[in-house]
Chain A
């Protein structure tokens, strides 16, 4: 699996999840969406495919995989980047030298990553400094009492800063909760809500997922769906957190909690005159979600599990994929095998011919459709198969090219004969001189 294939399959999943979100099915708890997004992020970051051999689906998935493969053909494999000389012997549809296009794309990709990192570096540095200068809260009996009760074993520091407007959590290994200085600490129920909300973020390791989702967008920046995933994921993180708060504190506290949120948002908007509509929408979304809160039902759990399992199938491919670098397929190491691997496979031929372990059809040419490997027999009694592509030779793009090809091969040429696996070489097939008259 390579990056474009991963981006595509994850993209499909992102569209599906976004669609589900849009439908707003009440029964599905917000925390289910978290799991789905986490699967997407893992899919985007981890280049592993689980091969499953299911002949039932092979045809359908052969088609899907072929379309993915045709996108992959633009990219070949990551390692072929470093062996440009092998390209000369591979017949590809594009007339230009594939080397320059692909290397150019890779450079653009890397520049994109660099740009995003640079832009976000400054943001990160500023906020990081504010966090580092935060001061531990003056002894507040209520807060320390609550923290002692809820997380007695884990020491989560609570700090305050005069430069932040809303409470938030930072850190993965040593989580810290940051509270703004201008909060009414006398309203104990409000303090309660804030603490519980932030603690849930800590317990759920939301900060870790924020970083991972950022990494995923960094790698897949060219895919707009990745950006969609990023914003949706973060919104869903907040809503799932709200959901958990209500489930812990009781449905009766819904209104109170929502009011606290509105007040915090109001305060923020007063201090930032250009409070953008995006954030306003996010807060609105949360309030609506809180007010519509319903306890999690069994149906909800079952629905969620089904969705998660279906989402997990993005990791499964039905064709044999090589996940790691295999020197056998490195063109520098094994040129013939590499050529064989990159050849196209005719899916239509699978109705008529048997398929070998590499996905190529083989057999004597009996039907209208050619198999990928055609049976040949030489005088010496060598029986094997040649790739149809090899036998047919290069396809000329113009009359000039046709003559040039004929000229090139006027003394005949040789084509490799393989066993039915299309890998083991058993002999050489000589195609006799072209007839020019």
Chain B
């Protein structure tokens, strides 16, 4: 599912800390982003509408219904489809060609490719 930055921020906290009450979320996010309580609640509601969060209990405990990996998968697939003609190969080629990888990182990538064979 498509999550905006603000929603990702909320999910981030849940992924890191586990299930939290809406009040706790508001407190943590206030410190991290300066959002006031109502803003946080609005974002949480949007996440609930998208199915990313489920609320239970009388304290409005929020539970992440989608994992970080799943969202990563979605965003990456979006990116590859949009910018690299849907070709994962093209995506990696572009990545490797740019000077943004150190030798260490290249070696690590090679390892991963080897292992997944």
A positions within 8 Å CB-CB of B: 129, 132-136, 157, 160-163, 181
Contact = CB atoms under 8 A, between A and B. Distances in A.
B42 A135 contact: no
Contact of A161 (B5, B34, B43): B5
Interface in B46-89: none
Given A135-B9, A161-B6, 4 more contacts: A133-B43, A157-B34, A162-B5, A163-B4
Contacts of A134: 6
A138 to B, nearest CB: 11
Contacts of A135: 5-6, 9, 33
Nearest to A163: B4
Contacts of A181: 5
Contacts of A132: 35-36, 39, 42
Interface string B26-45: 00000001111001001100
18 contacts: A132-B35, A132-B36, A132-B42, A133-B39, A133-B42, A133-B43, A134-B6, A135-B9, A135-B33, A136-B33, A136-B34, A157-B34, A161-B5, A161-B6, A162-B4, A162-B5, A163-B4, A181-B5
A129 B46 CA distance: 12
Contacts of A162: 4-5
Interface of B: 4-6, 9, 33-36, 39, 42-43
Nearest to A160: B5
B42 A129 contact: yes
Nearest to B38: A132
B24 to A, nearest CB: 19
A129 B43 CA distance: 10
Instruction: Report the 4 A-B pairs with minimum CB-CB distance, sorted nearest first.
Output: A133-B6, A162-B5, A132-B39, A135-B33
Scoring B4, B5, B35, B36 by chain A CB atoms within 10 A of each residue's CB, the highest score goes to B5
B55 to A, nearest CB: 19
B48 to A, nearest CB: 15
Contacts of B42: 129, 132-133
A133 B40 CA distance: 8
Contacts of B9: 135
Looking at A133, A135, A157, A162, the one whose CB has the most chain B CB atoms below 10 A away is A133
Contacts of B36: 132
A129 B41 CA distance: 12
A163 B3 CA distance: 11
Contacts of B33: 135-136
Nearest to B36: A132
A171 to B, nearest CB: 13
A407 to B, nearest CB: 73
A85 B34 CA distance: 58
Nearest to B5: A162
A136 B39 CA distance: 14
A161 B35 CA distance: 13
A134 B43 CA distance: 11
B90 to A, nearest CB: 21
B34 A133 contact: no
A134 B9 CA distance: 10
B13 to A, nearest CB: 13
Contacts of A133: 4-6, 35, 39, 42-43
Contacts of B35: 132-133
